[in-house]
Each structure stands twice: as C-alpha cells, then as structure tokens.
Structure 1
C-alpha cells in the first residue's frame, strides 16, 4: 500500500490506495469470482473519485494501462476524460487493435504456421511467430493461464476504447523507433508517442540519491558495480530475463555452460523467488571459475547498462528492458518467451540493434545458440560493427 501522499512542489503527486479486487494476491479463474472482484474494484475506485470531488480536488482526467480496464468504466460513470497509457510498442498496439477488429480469424487460422506472414493495415508483413503470444499463442505458451487473463483484459479495454469517438492513447515509444506503426494507428485513435520512459542517466547524481531509488527487489549494488569497474570496456555479457521468468534446472545449466564456454566475463541476474535447489547448485558451479562470472539476485539495470564495461545484453525482450538497452546504447541478444516479447525481438532485428536467439522445442535457450549469438555481437566481425553503428545511431535519436 502506498503512503497517503507524496509531497513535491505543492503536492503535485498524491498516492491514494484503493482495492483492485485481488488484494490477497490471487488471480481468480472462475468467471463469477472475477465478476465479483471486478465490481469491488469498480466501486472502490469510483469512491476515490467521489471523495476527491467532495474535498474540492475534482478529477479531470483518468489514465490507465491495459491491466486496469475498470478505469475506463469509472471515467465514463463520472463523465471524465479517459486515456490509455500503452506500456508496450506501438506495433503491438496495432496488432492487438486489428485482432479485435476483424483479423482474429486469419491469425487464429495460421497459429500453427510460425513462418506465415500476415499483413495488417498500415504495417509491413509480420510472421505469426512474431505476434504477441496473448493473441496468437505459441506451442510453449498455449496453456499459460496468465495469457488468458491478459487477453480478457485487452478485450475489455478495446471494447471501452470503441465507445469513445476517438480514444486517446499514450504510447511508451518514440518516432525514430516506430514511425510506421504510429502513423498506421492514427485513423483509429489519437495516439501520442511519449517515450522512451526511461529515467535520465545523471552521471553527477550522488550515491545517496542513487541508493534512494525504488527497486522491485532489495539488493546491494556495490559488489557488482565494483566488479564491473574492474572489467575491460565492452567486455562483459549482461544477462537478465526480468522479474517474472523463473529458471528450470535445464535452462540454468544451458546458460551456465554457454557463458563459460564463450569465456568472456558475465554478469547474470537470477531471482531467488521460486528457484529450485538444483538451480542453486548450477549457479554455484557457474561462479566457481576464478571470478570470470558474477551471479546476482537482482541489480540496478540502468546503472549496469550505462557502464562502459557492458558489451551486450542477453534479454527476454520485455519492452522496458528493450527501451533501456536502446537508450544506453547496448546491443541485444533477444530471447523472447511470451506476451509482447516476441514482437519486441522482431523489432530489435528490424532496427538491426541485436540478434535473435531461437529457443528449442521446450522453450529453452541452448548453450550452442547462446554462444552463436554472443560471437556475432562481441567478436568484432563486420556484422557486430554494423550493429554497433546502428545502436549508436538509435541511442542518439532516443
């Protein structure tokens, strides 16, 4: 729960808690239970708007992400301006829009043909394998219950947007990245590129200010930052799959052997939550090589990516991580798993700021594939030089 308010420049920002209907942390799969919790969510948020109006601080506009479609309903109830903040690429927004507006059949029909190309209005041809797995599930994500929950939330959001004359959508992107997709969306909505939503990298910021930043998980930055300081420029492989993905024993082994086989220094982030003992043993073996590699449970990704020692970023291609790599000028090995990550990896290839690592039939990144991609990005060959030039150009435009 947030504090009641955060005062800054005459209380520009205030935090007010309300029930989202899942206060116990569970995700109800039963339809009746979902409906009950949705109503509780709606009533709770609506009461916040009513209380603010009664206190002389009326709400004039409501903004939500696709994970909070109830906001649109509350805004309509109180006759307030409503806008969507889209936290994924504009290309994903376009794909989802057209899925819910007449193109769902063609996408579903060819779901088992990864190489099949679909042309959506205003966009270049896209392969089925590059589509967000929430609308076109892959073999490895077909039974993911979270995908079904996200799809329901998206459907509700687009239904609410369709009730607007021309919905307003703020997208975390910028023109140099997605000018085609942004233009393709304009006939259907007022879309504004408001990104990249990445904190400014202030080299002169004090250690106290840096330490005061809020992170998802507690961690001590000093050990890994000092370790990075001791490495050569652009020599370190940084690998992180974000805050949600967990590791199987096999996946940890494949990555560990791949990193050790490649032989360059690496900083590997593996969250402790849900980690099996077999994975812990594998990580212990990965760091028992004379200091070549370092494994941490979490890190300040902004500081890591901006460090001159980092030569490439092996990433799951969450949009936040992708934008951070672009802003800090770090080439990527894209290893998407689900949701928008597949399309984000496609965009990384399109911009030529990284290479895509294919996962095997079980959804694992193999040691051989990891080494192949690292050699392409890190070994000074013509392709690596071409990608580096594109990375520098896009960083400047960001």
Structure 2
C-alpha cells in the first residue's frame, strides 16, 4: 500500500488521516490455501502476532503524547476489540456487509444454527428467521452452508468471534454496530435485530462525486483505486458510446473467473451485440482465452469502478454482487445482472432482484458457470424495451435518488454519522 515508505512501519500522512502499518507476521502474504490445518494455523498465528504489534503501536502512540481514544474494527479483525479492551479504549464494529446479512448471522449465532445446518444441502428449501422475509438456503451467506472441512470454515469461526466481541463491548448500553447501508434500503433487515442491537447506518460510503452529475477530481478518485489503470483510455472509449448502451463487467477484487466462465462471458457479450467494458484482472488465468477488443469491446486489467458507473454511456453492470459493488450500482442508478459467487453475494443478488427491483439474477449451470446464452438473455431483459427492463431501469433511478437523499445534508445517514461522532467523542473523554 505504501511502496515509497522508507521503513515497513513508517507513518504516512494523508491530509487529516495518518496510516501506520503493523505486521501480522505474513508480510509476504500467505500462500498455504491447500488444507484446513494450514488455514487454521495462519488465522491463529496472524491474530496473535497482529494483536501483539497493534498493542505495541497503541502503547507507543500514548508514549508520544498521541493516545488512541477510540477504535473501529471490521469484519475479519475481531481481535482488535480485545486489544482496545486491554488498553481501556472504547471500540465499535464497522460491519462492511448489508444489515440484512448482519441480521442473518445474528440469528444464526443466537439459536438458529441448527435450523440452517439441518437444510444445508437443500438449496431451494425455505428458511424463516425472526423479522426477515423467507429466504431459500441458496440465498444465505455461503459460510453458513459449508462443511467443517471446508477451507473457509475458519472464516465462519472469525465471524462468530466478531459477534462475541460486539456483544461484550461495555462502552455502549447494548451491542452497537456501524453498518454501510441506509435506513430506507433495508427496513426489514434493520428491524429484525432492532430490539437486540443498536445498528447505526452510515452509508453508502462512497468516494468524492457520488452521482452522474458530479465531477470528482482525478486526484481524489485515484486514491480509491486498488490497482493502477489507464483511466484516460477507457474513459475516452466510453465517451464514444451512446447513453445507456455499454455493458460493464467486473467481478471485483477477490473472485478470479475460471477459464470456462471467462469464455462464456465473452460468448454472451459477443452474441448480445452491445458495446462492453470487461475487467479481467492481471492475476486472472487467460491461457487459451481470446480477449477480443475493438470498436465494440474493451478489456482492461482494472478500472475506477465509480468513475465507470458514473459515466452516462453505462447501461448495465454485470457483477458478482459484493456489497460495495451493490451499493455503487444503486448510487449511480445502474441496473445489474447478478452473478454471485460466495460470501454475502448471494443475498445481495437476491435483494437486488426481489427487494429493490434493480436487476435480475443470472442462473448458473450445474458447474456454477453462467453460460453465454443465459448472460445474453439477462442483458436483453435488463437493457431491452420489455416491460420488466423498463421497470428495472425505473427502480434503479428511484434508488439512485434515495441514496442522494440519505447521504445528503440532513439525510438519514448524514444525521446518524454526526450523532455517532459526537457520542464517540464523548465516550473518548469519559
């Protein structure tokens, strides 16, 4: 993240924010995703080392006269709450997935794990959790339906620890979490735990320039790009396309498309005949896959997603439905074709199709692949002039306006954020 730093732990200042890296013992990355014991050892060892180093960092800041007064931790770092507690510092969980997924996990860890486990291998069985509408097993977060020998099972243990940490924080009258969502988006999800947890919605958290009318600067948006990209080239290419004509395809920072899936995506894009911008990361295997480019298609290794979604030529977003991508599609009013893979993506796809009406979910074959013909069908529905496509685009515009209202001055998320900061500052001085 900081290649120009002179030392691994050099403090990096960026305006009002300073960054101080600390080691988790795996500075060169972890490459042992081959067996459950290897993953378990990595999770345990990295937690131990990171806790020790973060604790030392907190102590050193105090010694420098810059004491830490409040700690915010995220989904896969529940151990941070323990470090904060050891130093007598109040802390809070920032939940980076949806409020609905939070409610599902909450109920799972509070008495409903047996219900889910009993039907884990039945994807179309309906389950009912308190306060939530009925869901199919296939829509639940994938961590809840994996077996104990799965490589990702340690992640479920970590999520369990997240809820235990939030439950045990004594700085709040009752368990309190921050969520990257907004009140109008997930009425049921928020109400499902309202009597148990104080959920504070602050989102969507977006980079500068959150609407198609805004002109955010290259300097600001470059800070949000994970990898370098030739922004000038793809933005100029988008400038040549008619409004609402381009299919944007990206599966985010985690998912790597299999060769077969990549082939089917290219087939579907070619058959639909619409211009497309396709993201194929550098680490995505491409051997034997012909990435055809030309006037009707452009392939990039990375792009600034918010800049692309804000462009008026983009008419559809083919997405894995990560929560950030889901919120960004709503914020920019871009309809979606959902191709969920894992984690919370299945529930996000379900909400986009059934709760928000802003897209449709592509059906995968028995190998878990979205076939080209299915992609073409979905694109024709979402971008076509049929009744459903027109309604999907109308709903996308409505939710775009709802996002603007929530994060604008005096909106629900704006009010919640200001109230939280005020309360956090009060607790920090107690």
TM-score, with structure 2 as normaliser: 0.85
- Change over 3 Å in CA distance of 1:163–1:19 after alignment to 2: same
For residues 378 and 225 of structure 2, the distance between their equivalents in structure 1, rounded to whole angstroms, comes to 30
Match of 1:35 among 39, 44, 64: 44
Task: Deviation per CA, 1:256-303: give whole Å up to 9, x if none.
Answer: 111111111111111121414123xx21xx32xx52111111111111
1:234/1:312 contact within 8 Å kept = yes
Query: Where does residue 178 of structure 1 map in the other structure?
Result: 186
Gaps of 5+ in 1: none
For residues 211 and 39 of structure 1, the distance between their equivalents in structure 2, rounded to whole angstroms, comes to 35
CA RMSD of aligned residues (A): 1.9
Query: Where does residue 205 of structure 2 map in the other structure?
Result: 197
Offset, 1:164? 3.1
| Equivalences, count | 384
1:65/1:87 contact within 8 Å kept = yes
- Change over 3 Å in CA distance of 1:120–1:263 after alignment to 2: same
Offset, 1:309? 0.6
Query: Where does residue 69 of structure 1 map in the other structure?
Result: 78
Which secondary structure state, in structure 2, belongs to the residue aligned with residue 41 of structure 1?
helix
Match of 2:320 among 307, 316, 319: 316
For residues 42 and 311 of structure 2, the distance between their equivalents in structure 1, rounded to whole angstroms, comes to 48
For residues 33 and 233 of structure 1, the distance between their equivalents in structure 2, rounded to whole angstroms, comes to 48
> Is 1:304 the counterpart of 2:308 in the alignment?
yes
Query: Where does residue 215 of structure 1 map in the other structure?
Result: 225
Which secondary structure state, in structure 2, belongs to the residue aligned with residue 156 of structure 1?
helix
Match of 2:337 among 316, 319, 333: 333
Match of 2:161 among 156, 160, 166: 156
TM-score, with structure 1 as normaliser: 0.91
Task: Deviation per CA, 1:216-253: give whole Å up to 9, x if none.
Answer: 11111111111111111101111111112112221111
For residues 336 and 249 of structure 2, the distance between their equivalents in structure 1, rounded to whole angstroms, comes to 10
Match of 2:375 among 370, 374, 379: 370
1:261/1:371 contact within 8 Å kept = yes
Query: Where does residue 353 of structure 1 map in the other structure?
Result: 358
Query: Where does residue 295 of structure 2 map in the other structure?
Result: 291
Match of 1:81 among 64, 75, 90: 90
For residues 66 and 210 of structure 1, the distance between their equivalents in structure 2, rounded to whole angstroms, comes to 26
- Change over 3 Å in CA distance of 1:373–1:212 after alignment to 2: closer
1:82/1:168 contact within 8 Å kept = no
Which secondary structure state, in structure 2, belongs to the residue aligned with residue 267 of structure 1?
strand
Query: Where does residue 266 of structure 2 map in the other structure?
Result: 256
Query: Where does residue 49 of structure 1 map in the other structure?
Result: 58
2:244/2:316 contact within 8 Å kept = yes
For residues 120 and 14 of structure 2, the distance between their equivalents in structure 1, rounded to whole angstroms, comes to 50
For residues 122 and 354 of structure 1, the distance between their equivalents in structure 2, rounded to whole angstroms, comes to 24
Gaps of 5+ in 2: 3-9, 404-430
Offset, 1:144? 5.5
